[in-house]
Amino acid sequence: MVEVFTTNACGNSPKSAFVEQLGIALVVGDLGFLSNLLSDQFVWELADGQILSGKPLAKYFPADVQSIRIRHALSHGKVGAVNGYWSDNKNNNYHFCHVIEFTNTKFTHVSRVYSYHQRP
C-alpha cells in the first residue's frame, strides 16, 4: 500500500483537491481512477520529449512507489498543476510536476498532461 501525504490545503477548493487526487493517480498509476477521466484525444507529454497519446499508459508508471508527498495543488480555469515527490523502496526520492489541461472548466475530462519529473 502506498503511503500518501497530501497538502491538506485544498479544503476551500474542490478543483484543487481533485487536481491533487489526479496527481497522485498519475504517479502511482491508478488506471481505475484515470480511465474515465482521460478524453479520447488525451495526450501526455513527458519531460524527455516523449509524447503519449490514447490510453495505453500502464508501462509508464513506476512500479515501486512506497510513498508520495504532494507539495502544491493549484487550479485555474481549465488548468491544474500538482507537484511533489515520491519515494521508492530504497528511500530514493523522485520529484515531479504535472500540469494538467482539462476539456472544460468543470474538470470532467483531461485532454493533456505535461509532466516534468525525475525517473528512476
Are 38 and 102 spatial neighbours (Cβ–Cβ below 8 Å)?
A: no
In the numeric block, which cell numbers belong to residue 103?
A: 476539456
pLDDT tens digit sequence for 53-68 = 765 666 667 778 999 9
For residues 75 and 54, which has the higher predicted lDDT (pLDDT)? 75
Q: What's the whole-number mean pLDDT along residues 14-36? A: 89
Residue 21 has pLDDT above 90, yes or no: yes
* Top-tier CATH class for 3-117: alpha beta
Q: For the chain, give me the number of helices (H) and strands (E)?
A: 2, 7
Nearest 5°: CA angle at 55, between 49 and 59? 65
Q: What's the whole-number mean pLDDT along residues 81-89? A: 94
Q: What's the whole-number mean pLDDT along residues 92-102? A: 94
Domain segments of the chain as ranges: 3-117
Are 86 and 65 spatial neighbours (Cβ–Cβ below 8 Å)?
A: yes
